[in-house]
Structures are given as C-alpha cells and as structure tokens.
Amino acid sequence: MDSLEIWAEKYRPRKLDDVINQRHVVERVKVFVKERNIPHMLYAGPPGSGKTTVALCISEELFGSAWRQSTLETNASDERGINVIRQKIKDFARTRAIGDVPFKIIVLDEADALTPEAQQALRRTMETFTRTARFILCCNYSSRVIEPIQSRCAVFRFRPLSGDDVRAYVMRIVQGEGLKITDKAIEAIIYFAQGDLRKAANLLQASAALSREIDESSIYEAASQARPEDVRLMLEKALSGHFQEAREILQDMLLRQGLMGEDLIREIHRQVYSLDLTDEEKVQLIDKIGEYDFRLTEGGNELIQLEALLAQFLLFSKAHKRR
C-alpha cells in the first residue's frame, strides 16, 4: 500500500501528538490511552477534520504493530443494512484482543447514515459486546445520531480546521516531498480546502501532477478539473428549454457515475455566477438552489430534488421568458 503513495494517506498522522489541532479532543483521549481504557466514543465533525485519524492513532498507540488485528473498520454506507454490520461486529468481537488491552476497537464511520431503527439495533449490539469491544462512531452531524447512542458515548466535537491548520499540514507534505510551491498557491489550497485536510492533500497532489513547480494557477487548474464537468452542460440544456436532455445528463451523473447530490448542487451554485442571465435572475435562482439544497439535507432523494431544481432553471429559458 505504501507503494501507491496517495499523500492524504501517506501523511495521515500516526501518533496522537501529530494530529493537526483538535487539541481539546487529543488531550482527553491521551488520558484514556495512558490508562489503557477507553469509553465508547462518538466523533462528530466536518470531513477531513481528523475523526478517523484520531481513532486509528488510538488503536496504534494501544496495540502497537498488532493494531490491525484488534481493530475493525467498517462504515454504514458500504454494508447492506445493519444486520451485515452486526454480523461483522459479532464475528470480530467474539475473540479476545491479543496483549494486555482487554478490548478490541470497532470504528464505525458514517454512523449518521443509519436510520434510527438501525441505530437502535446498533445500540443493542454495543451493549452486548461492551466487555470485549469499544466503539468509536464517526459522523458529520451528531443530531442524526439517536439519543440512546449519544448517551452511551463520550461525545467529541471536531472543530472545523482553520487556515493556519491547513497551512501547517500542507507544509508537512511540501517538506516531505521536497516540493516547490508559491505562497499564493498555498493560499489557494487553503481557500479551496475549507478546512478539509483530505481535500488539501488531494488538491496538492493533483496540482503536483500537472506541473513541477506549483503556483496559484496550477491549483486552480486542478480544482477545476476535479469538478463534475457535465454540470455546466446540464444547466445550459435546461436554460435553452431542453429539459429532458438536462434530465438525462443528471441521471447519468447521479446514477451511472455515482456522483453525490451535494457535490452537484454545490457545483450548480458555483456555475450560476457565470451563466448568461441578469443578476436579478441569478439571485432568484440562488434562492431556489438554497431551497432544494435544504430539502436534500432534510433527507430528500437526490434525483428528484435536483430534477425539481432543473425545472426551475427551465423557467429562465429564453423561449419561456418571451411568453
């Protein structure tokens, strides 16, 4: 795996002391590790803020080189339903951990993707294996985790990382890889990453693939290449009155390519500024984008919500406006 050299992984901190910021979490967690006893924990926070990293650091510091055998990593979005997850946990927690730590660690990512019912089932599983396993649940929004689980866990909120935090992390990679990079390029990474270290590392590595010396423009180039490319075309189709064609592009992106609705809607928002519309029309559309984005976060189906948004773009087609 080291041979693949994906920097986001290569520069993932291996010790709690190396974790970027999140001091309030790390300080308390270090006490647990020192006492060789950890509670069930719930980590909530934005993507790329260090949740999985802290969980893996704990495991490595507790179990040393044997950490893999004593750690089960799973996530709610890959497994087919809670029963598969429970079976995995059961098989894993049946045997005792090797060494002097009396429990194994189960890291369940994207716990907020489970329905409340599935979470109830998970809660029972947590109780069943509480002697032999400790759970670390990770999620973006703790409000989507049912209270009975929250009350059984020590809840840690990971803060959005600052520009300086991102800079510190980028500098580690720059030094480790011996890169040539301008200050403005680092500023650009900070701007795009929005506190997400995984994104910062990926953007940096993609830019490095495009040019030997990394400046502002290579960052912008990589960032734009990484965006869903069909979004612009889709919006133009809708604005020229070709709703069904726009719908087809959307279905291809969401269903065949497997892109995520929230990424698409973010890109739609970004594209609005440069569309051939008056500013007043743009403001009206942004109002609609916000509304359908909200419906998505309320649990709406990605396809129907984005199609409904596309139908709003159709209202601004020239043919319609002439009516």
Partner 1 sequence: MSWVSRYRPRSFKEVLDQKEAIETLMAWYKNWKPGSKAMLLYGPPGCGKTVIVEALAQEEGLDLIEMNASDFRSAEAIEARIGRSMAQASIFQRPKLFLIDEVDGLAGEEDRGGVGAIIQIIKGSKHPIVLTANDPYNERLRTIRPYCQLVRMRRLGIRDVQRYLERIAELEGLSIDESVLKIIASRSQGDLRSAINDLEVLGRGSRIIRDEDLSSLGFRERQTDIFEALQAIFKTKSLMTAKLSLNEVDKDLEEVFWWIENNIAEEYEDPLEIAKAFDALSKADLFMSRVIFRQNWKLQAYAVDLMTGGVALAKREPYRKFTRYTYPSNIALLGRTKGERSEALKALGKLGSILHCSRRKVRAEFLPYLKIMAKRPDFKERLDAFMEASED
Tell me which residues touch partner 1 (CB under 8 A).
1, 3-6, 8-9, 12, 47-48, 52, 56, 73, 75-78, 109-110, 115-117, 198-199, 202-203, 205-206, 209-210, 222, 225-228, 241, 243-244, 247-248, 251-252, 255-256, 258-260, 263, 292, 295, 298-301, 303-305, 307-308, 310-312, 314-315, 317, 320
Residue that is written with structure tokens 């059961």 in the block? 90
In angstroms, rounded to a whole number, what is the distance separating the alpha carbons of residues 45 and 27?
A: 17
Question: 162 or 301, CB closer to partner 1?
Answer: 301
Question: 74 or 128, CB closer to partner 1?
Answer: 74
Question: 178 or 299, CB closer to partner 1?
Answer: 299
Q: How far is the CB of 4 from partner 1 (least distance, A)?
A: 5
Q: How far is the CB of 313 from partner 1 (least distance, A)?
A: 9
Q: What is the 8-class DSSP label of residue 5?
A: -
Question: 178 or 258, CB closer to partner 1?
Answer: 258
Contacts of 205 (CB under 8 A, 6+ apart): 6, 7, 8
Question: 153 or 285, CB closer to partner 1?
Answer: 285
Question: 115 or 182, CB closer to partner 1?
Answer: 115
Q: How far is the CB of 263 from partner 1 (least distance, A)?
A: 6
E-strand stretches of the chain: 41-44, 71-75, 104-109, 133-139, 154-157, 180-181, 213-214
Q: How far is the CB of 56 from partner 1 (least distance, A)?
A: 7
Q: Are 132 and 103 contacting, i.e. CB atoms less than 8 angstroms apart?
A: yes
Q: How many CB atoms lie within 10 A of CB 303?
A: 15
Q: How far is the CB of 100 from partner 1 (least distance, A)?
A: 25
Q: Are 79 and 88 contacting, i.e. CB atoms less than 8 angstroms apart?
A: yes
Question: 163 or 228, CB closer to partner 1?
Answer: 228
Contacts of 143 (CB under 8 A, 6+ apart): none
Question: 21 or 59, CB closer to partner 1?
Answer: 59
What Rg value do the Cα atoms of the chain yield, rounded? 23
Contacts of 209 (CB under 8 A, 6+ apart): 222
Q: How many CB atoms lie within 10 A of CB 1?
A: 7
Q: How far is the CB of 213 from partner 1 (least distance, A)?
A: 15
* Apex 201 CA angle, 47 and 168, nearest 5: 90
Residue among 229, 220, 299 nearest 257 (CA): 229
Residue that is written with structure tokens 């773009």 in the block? 313
Q: How many CB atoms lie within 10 A of CB 126?
A: 21
Strand partners, 44: 139, 157
Q: How far is the CB of 296 from partner 1 (least distance, A)?
A: 10
Q: How far is the CB of 255 from partner 1 (least distance, A)?
A: 5
In angstroms, rounded to a whole number, what is the distance separating the alpha carbons of residues 198 and 173?
A: 12
Question: 34 or 80, CB closer to partner 1?
Answer: 80
Q: How far is the CB of 205 from partner 1 (least distance, A)?
A: 6
